[in-house]
Chain A
Amino acid sequence: MATVLPTGLDAGLTGVEAPAPSARRRGFAWLAVAPFFLYMAVFFAVPVLMLVLGAFQSGGAHSSYTLDTLRQANEGPSLNALLGSVRLSAGTAVVGALGGVGVAQLIIHTRALKRIVLTASGVLANFGGVPLAFMFIATLGNAGFVTVKLHLGDTGFTLYSFWGLALIYLYFLIPLMVLVVLPALEGLRVQWHEAATNLGASRWQYWRHIGGPVLLPSVLGGFVLLFGSAFSAFATARAAMGASSVPLVTLYIANNLSSNVSTNGQNIAFALSVDMIVVAGLVMAVYLPLQRRTTRWLNQ
C-alpha cells in the first residue's frame, strides 16, 4: 500500500503547472490576507493614532500641539485617580494571586470539582463585569442581605469604599489567577516530589528548590496579569460606584470623556488613556515572556 505523502502530492501537482500560476497564486494569497491588514489599519491603528495625537493637543476651538495636556494629566486630580488605580490594582493583585493559588491547590485533585470551578472561573474572570457589581450590592450594599442581617452598617462598613471595591475585584481576580496557575500546578509531577522525598528532602526544601522555581514564572505572570486586569477594569467600578467615590483612572477618563467640564477635559482623558496603554504595555511585556516560560516547562 502506497501512502500519499503531503510533499509527494504537492510535487505532483505543482510539477504539471507552469511557473506562471504561482505568481497568480501569490496574488490570490495577498487577496486573502489584505482585508485583515486593511481592517486593522482602519479600526485599530487609526483610533489609537487619533488618541495619541489628541493627548498632545490643547483642546478647545483653536487646538494646537502642546505638552501641557500630558503634564496636566499627570498632576492634581488625574494623578490622584491614576495612583488610586495603581494602589487598588497592586493590593488586589497580591491578595488575588495568593488566593488563586490557594483555590487551585484545593481543587486540583478532584476532577468534577475542577471542571465546575474552572468553568465558573472562566465566567467570573472574563465576563463578570456588571453582574458582579449587582451581586455585591445585593449582598453588602447599604440594604444588602448580609449588611442587614449582620448589622454591618453599625460597624461603619460600606461597600462604596476602597476596601469594598477591593472585595468586589477579588471576586473576578481570584478566578483569573486560578485559570492562570492551575496548568502550572498540574505540571508539577508527583514523581518530583517522591524523588525529592526519597533523597531526604524536607517539605520546605522541596518547595524551595523544586516546586517554587517551577511555579514562580506562572505565579509572577499571574500577578502581573491580575494587576493589568484590575487596572483597566471599568464596568464593575462604574456599576458599583456610579459617580466615583473612589478615585480610579477608568472612572476619571469616562467622566472627562462624557462631560464637557473644561475645554480640554477630553484631551486630558486622551492623555490618561495613553498613560493606561503604557501601563498595559508594560504588563504584557512582562506577562507574555513569563507565560511562554511556563508553557515550555509544561510541554516537557
Chain B
Amino acid sequence: MAQPVTARLGRGAAWAAFAAYFLVPMGASIYFTLFDRDNHFSATPYTGLFQASGFVPALQMSVEMGVLTVVVLLALLLPAMVTIQLSMPRLRPIVETLCTMPLVIPPIAFVAGIIALQTRLSDADPYGPLSQLVNNQLMQTGLPLLLVFSYVVLALPFAYRALDAGLRLLPLRTLVDAARGLGASWPTVLLRVIMPNLRTAILNAAILTLALVLGEFTLATLLGFTPFPVWIVTSGGDHAQQSTAASIVSLLVTWGGLLILSVFGDRRRTA
C-alpha cells in the first residue's frame, strides 16, 4: 500500500486532531477529580460517592424508574406489535408512525406540554379527582410515576425499532400456530414462545430504554425531581470534583455495558 506522503501526513494529522479532541477532556477530567489545586492526590471523589449526600436516593430513583419504564414499555408494545403482525397488518403503518412521533417532540417541548396539562387541571378544579391524580398521586417524590409514563413515550421510537428488527426475523405465524395447536394459551405463547425467541431484540430495547432513563435530565429537573443526572448538576456547585467523578463513572459504566453487549452479540451471530 504505497500512499502518497501528503495523504499519509494528512491522515496522521487527522488522527492527532481527533485523538486530542476526544481524549484530552477525558484525561483532564480524570486528573481534575484525582488531584486538588495543590496537586495532592486523593481518590475520595470516587470512594466517597456512596456516602455523598443524596447520591444513593438519586441513583435508586433512577434505577427504579428505568426498570419500571422497561416493564411498562414491553407490556404495552409487545402484545400490540405481535398481534398486528399476526392479524391486523393494516394497523402497522399507523403504529409505526405513532411510535416515530415522539422524535418530533423535543423533551423540553414535551415537558412544557405536561406542565400545560398540570396548569390547566389545577386552573379548572384544583381539588378534582383528575387534578389530584396528575398533580399529586403521580408526582410522589420517591418514585414519580408521571416521569415513568413520560419516559415510556420518549423511549418508544428506539424500543419500537429494536423490537421490530427482531420480529421481522422471526417466523411468528409458525411459532404461534404450533404453540396454539399444542394447546398453549395466549399468555403462554407470549411469555414462553415469543419472548425467548426475541430475547436479543428485547435486550436491545431494554438497554436503550434503561440508558435513556438513567441519563434523562430535562423532564426530571423541570418537574422538580432529583434522579441521578439532576443530582450531578445540583451537587456540582459545591462539590465539582465529586460531580465530575460521578459523570466519568456513569459514562464509563454505560460504555462498558454497550461494549460487552456488542462483543456478546457478535459471538452469538457467529456461533
Contact = CB atoms under 8 A, between A and B. Distances in A.
Interface string A118-143: 11101110111111101111111001
A28 B103 contact: no
Contacts of A284: 100, 103-104
B103 A280 contact: yes
Interface in B220-242: 221-222, 229, 232-233, 236, 240
A54 B113 CA distance: 9
Interface string B198-226: 00000000001001101101100110000
B87 A6 contact: no
Contact of B152 (A43, A120, A232): A43
9 contacts: A29-B86, A32-B82, A39-B152, A47-B110, A126-B212, A130-B233, A134-B244, A273-B113, A280-B103
Interface string B105-129: 1111111111111011001000000
A13 interface: yes
A146 interface: yes
Majority secondary structure, B binding face? helix
Contacts of A53: 116, 120
Contacts of A243: none
B217 A130 contact: yes
Q: Which of B77, B80, B86, B100 has the most CB of A within 10 A?
A: B80
A188 to B, nearest CB: 18
B112 A130 contact: no
Contacts of B221: 238
Given A29-B88, A138-B240, A257 B112 contact: yes
A192 interface: no
A296 interface: no
B137 to A, nearest CB: 14
A235 B211 CA distance: 15
Given A51-B112, A146-B28, A277-B105, A36 B95 contact: yes
Contacts of A270: 112-113, 116
Nearest to A36: B80
B243 A134 contact: yes
A100 B96 CA distance: 29
Interface of A: 6, 9-10, 13, 25-26, 28-29, 32-33, 35-37, 39-40, 43-44, 46-51, 53-54, 63, 99, 102-103, 106, 115-116, 118-120, 122-124, 126-132, 134-140, 143-146, 170-171, 231-232, 234-235, 238-239, 250, 253-254, 257-258, 266, 269-270, 273-274, 276-277, 280-281, 284, 288
Contact of B217 (A32, A118, A238, A281): A238
Contact of B244 (A35, A49, A99, A138): A138
B14 A234 contact: no
Given A276-B106, A280-B103, A137 B222 contact: no
A221 to B, nearest CB: 13
B132 interface: no
Contacts of B215: 126-131
Nearest to A283: B104
A135 B233 contact: no
Given A138-B29, A250-B108, A47 B218 contact: no
A102 B88 contact: no
B153 A43 contact: yes
A54 B114 CA distance: 11
B178 interface: yes
Interface in B5-45: 11, 14-15, 18, 21-22, 24-26, 28-29, 31-33, 37
Interface string B48-87: 0000000000000000000000000000110110111011
Contact of B262 (A47, A118, A144): A118
A9 B248 contact: no
Given A145-B29, A170-B21, 9 more contacts: A29-B88, A39-B76, A115-B259, A123-B258, A128-B251, A129-B229, A134-B232, A146-B24, A280-B105
Nearest to B158: A126
Q: Which of A47, A118, A269 has the most CB of B within 10 A?
A: A47
B197 interface: no
Contact of B258 (A43, A46, A122, A232): A122
Given A116-B259, A273-B112, A29 B83 contact: yes
B191 interface: no
Given A134-B244, A139-B29, A234 B113 contact: no
Closest 10 CB pairs of A and B: A232-B106, A47-B113, A131-B247, A51-B113, A273-B109, A145-B28, A235-B217, A138-B32, A138-B29, A139-B28
B101 interface: yes
Contacts of B112: 51, 54, 253, 257, 269-270, 273
A127 B214 contact: yes
A204 to B, nearest CB: 14
Contact of A6 (B106, B177, B208): B177
Contacts of B178: 9
